[in-house]
């Protein structure tokens, strides 16, 4: 465990609401985080319970509490984004860690980076990178999916959004690694500082020589007639990397773990590519993996439980997606009617990158399945789930029978060349004009 437990139970916490639960350690030997959270909820724990671990905090497990807390920014502040309070980055990551009305002033500054046109440009870039990566690893017959593929796409997207030079990639990867996989809490804080130093150096460069990119726009943006200060600039740029990195990598990992163990679902997607849009929604619902935190703004009673100002509440987004109504919500069903899920949050902080995230999942499904149609997890692999702000499978080894580059592959009843991909899909990276 990274952080110490609290020694004395706060006076307002009834002992019957205490559960010994470590939010950073989940019992998911099969690598299925959402199912583990559902098991916790169904194990008879209260819908709102307290744990002394990680500094002491509440945990919301009921689907109605999850949504209610996220939508109620007046009572549940975003000033703390993780437990314990000491683990929160300084300066804050903006707009994630701001509350309305301040929050909106900053959120609108990054909205223009997420328009459909901008997302399309980034998507094209991510598709080229993905095809390159997949075509490099396909002949090898094995890979470690998270490092070799899943983390590469969000980093490429971040670099594209901020127009960063390719030569900076290794530095960014190293910093990201310190933030996502810290050995001790200090490593994580050092990672945040390094990221802040890096982004500020870019701001200085673009101020001296502005371009059309987002860094230049942010460097010149004003709020209430003032240029943004360094802390706000650092926070805004960090969010574009951090909010889209372990989320997308984590989501892709859980999707791949599932597909590797379900030949029937792989076949369905290959034989019926039109199902991909609904498959994306079903994967988003089923594989949710973000744990959010809120700080109680003022004493409030929720479902009969008194939460005191300053208490922290961990809200696990998967638990908004598995209603307790007798239906089998753990089953993955591409024909399931679309439901409102909390995978991207709810309320004022609803994910700004949702369109981009969907595009990244689509690219993966289209480009990977057309080149590596069948794959599995080696029997010797032991899957672990690592839980931070987002849960992920940190190492996901895959094996498959390498397909020779020009060998024909059967898709949707037709024979196509494996490097040309699914016949009914758009493949800019493999088209002759590029
Ligand atoms: C599957 C992938 C993703 C998931 C599951 C996800 C999930 C979330 C969630 C749950 C929130 C709400 C945070 C809160 O309420 O405190 C959020 C916010 C946010 N996300 Fe995502 N996200 C994903 C991908 C992305 C991507 C690709 C980007 C952009 C690069 C992005 C940018 C943001 C930003 C900027 C916010 C902050 C919005 C605000 O505070 O107003 N996300 N995301």
Length of the chain: 434
Question: For the chain, first and last CA: distance in Å?
Answer: 49
Q: Is the CB of 80 under 6 A from ligand 1?
A: no
CATH number at residue 158: 1.10.630.10
Tell me the mean pLDDT in the region 412-426: 29
Active-site residue set: 181, 246-247, 351-353
Q: Is the residue at 356 inside a domain? A: yes
At 144-194, the pLDDT tens digits run 999 899 988 888 888 888 888 888 988 998 898 788 777 787 888 899 889
Q: Is the CB of 388 under 6 A from ligand 1?
A: no
What is the whole-number distance in angstroms between the Cα of residue 345 and the centre of ligand 1? 8
More confident residue, 319 or 177: 319
What is the residue-wise DSSP string for 83-148? SSGGGS-SSPPTTTT--TTHHHHHHHHHGGGGSHHHHHHHHHHHHHHHHHHHHHHGGGTEEEHIII
Query: The tokens of 279 are what?
Result: 């498959």
Q: Is the residue at 4 inside a domain? A: no
At 348-395, the pLDDT tens digits run 999 999 999 999 999 999 999 999 999 999 999 999 999 988 899 999
Query: The tokens of 171 are what?
Result: 């530095």
123-126 long-range contacts (CB < 8 A, ≥24 apart) are 123/356, 123/359, 123/360, 123/363, 124/428, 125/156, 125/157, 125/160, 126/153, 126/156, 126/157, 126/160, 126/359, 126/360, 126/363
Q: Is the residue at 1 inside a domain? A: no
What is the whole-number distance in angstroms between the Cα of residue 344 and the centre of ligand 1? 6
Q: Is the CB of 34 under 6 A from ligand 1?
A: no
Q: Is the residue at 318 inside a domain? A: yes
Q: Which atom of ligand 1 is nearest to the CA of 240?
A: 30
CA neighbor of 239 nearest in space, from 266, 199, 205, 267: 199
What is the whole-number distance in angstroms between the Cα of residue 240 and the centre of ligand 1? 9
pLDDT of amino acid 408:
42
What is the whole-number distance in angstroms between the Cα of residue 247 and the centre of ligand 1? 8
Distance CA 287, CA 251 (A): 6
pLDDT of amino acid 403:
66
Q: Are 297 and 309 in contact (CB under 8 A)?
A: yes
Q: Is the residue at 35 inside a domain? A: yes
Q: Is the residue at 7 inside a domain? A: no
Which residue's CA lies nearest to atom 43 of ligand 1? 351
pLDDT of amino acid 240:
83
pLDDT of amino acid 433:
27
Q: Whole domain around residue 131: which residue ranges?
A: 15-430
Distance CA 385, CA 372 (A): 24
Q: Is the CB of 248 under 6 A from ligand 1?
A: yes
At 117-153, the pLDDT tens digits run 989 988 988 899 899 999 999 999 999 999 899 988 8
Which residue's CA lies nearest to atom 14 of ligand 1? 349
Q: Is the residue at 328 inside a domain? A: yes
Q: Is the CB of 249 under 6 A from ligand 1?
A: no
pLDDT of amino acid 1:
53
- Evaluated on CA atoms 110, 287, 279, 68, the torsion sign reads negative
**Probe ligand 1: pick from 236, 353, 360, max atoms within 8 Å of CB?**
353
Q: Is the CB of 239 under 6 A from ligand 1?
A: yes
Instruction: Work out the pLDDT band at 404, boundaries 50, 70, 90.
Output: low
Q: Is the residue at 232 inside a domain? A: yes
Q: Is the CB of 95 under 6 A from ligand 1?
A: yes
Overall domain count for the chain: 1
CB-based contacts of 187: which residues, under 8 Å, 6+ apart? Answer: 178
**Position 429 pLDDT exceeds 60:** no
**Probe ligand 1: pick from 80, 105, 154, 243, max atoms within 8 Å of CB?**
243
């Amino acid at each position: 465990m990274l952080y110490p437990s609290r020694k004395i139970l706060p006076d307002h916490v009834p002992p019957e609401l205490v559960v010994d639960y470590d939010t950073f350690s989940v019992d998911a030997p099969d690598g299925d985080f959402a199912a583990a959270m559902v098991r916790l909820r169904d194990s008879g724990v209260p819908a709102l319970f307290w744990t002394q671990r990680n500094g002491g905090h509440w945990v919301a497990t009921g689907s109605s509490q999850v949504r209610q807390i996220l939508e109620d920014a007046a009572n549940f502040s975003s000033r703390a984004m993780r437990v314990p309070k000491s683990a929160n980055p300084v300066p804050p990551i903006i707009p994630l860690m701001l509350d309305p009305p301040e929050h909106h002033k900053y959120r609108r500054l990054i909205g223009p980076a997420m328009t459909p046109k901008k997302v399309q440009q980034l998507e094209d870039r991510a598709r080229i990178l993905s095809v390159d990566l997949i075509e490099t690893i396909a002949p090898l017959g094995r890979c470690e999916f998270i490092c070799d593929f899943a983390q590469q796409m969000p980093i490429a997207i971040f670099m594209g959004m901020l127009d960063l030079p390719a030569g900076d990639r290794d530095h960014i990867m190293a910093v990201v690694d310190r933030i996502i996989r810290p050995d001790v809490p200090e490593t994580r804080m050092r990672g945040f500082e390094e990221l802040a130093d890096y982004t500020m150096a870019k701001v200085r460069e673009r101020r001296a020589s502005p371009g059309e990119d987002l860094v230049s726009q942010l460097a010149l943006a004003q709020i209430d007639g003032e240029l943004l200060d360094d802390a706000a600039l650092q926070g805004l740029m960090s969010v574009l990397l951090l909010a889209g990195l372990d989320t997308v990598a984590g989501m892709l990992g859980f999707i791949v773990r599932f597909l590797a163990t379900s030949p029937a679902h792989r076949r369905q997607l290959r034989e019926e590519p039109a199902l991909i849009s609904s498959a994306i929604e079903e994967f988003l619902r089923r594989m949710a993996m973000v744990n959010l935190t809120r700080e109680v703004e003022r004493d409030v009673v929720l479902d009969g439980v008194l939460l005191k100002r300053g208490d922290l509440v961990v809200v696990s987004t998967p638990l908004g997606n598995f209603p307790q109504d007798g239906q089998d919500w753990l089953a993955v069903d591409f024909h399931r009617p679309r439901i409102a899920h909390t995978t991207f949050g709810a309320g004022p902080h609803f994910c700004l990158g949702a369109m981009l995230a969907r595009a990244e999942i689509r690219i993966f499904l289209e480009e990977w399945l057309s080149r590596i149609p069948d794959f599995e997890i080696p029997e010797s692999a032991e899957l672990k789930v690592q839980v931070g702000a987002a849960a992920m499978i940190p190492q996901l080894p895959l094996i498959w029978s390498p397909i020779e580059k020009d060998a024909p592959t059967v898709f949707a009843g037709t024979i196509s060349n494996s490097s040309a991909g699914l016949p009914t899909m758009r493949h800019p990276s493999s088209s002759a004009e590029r």
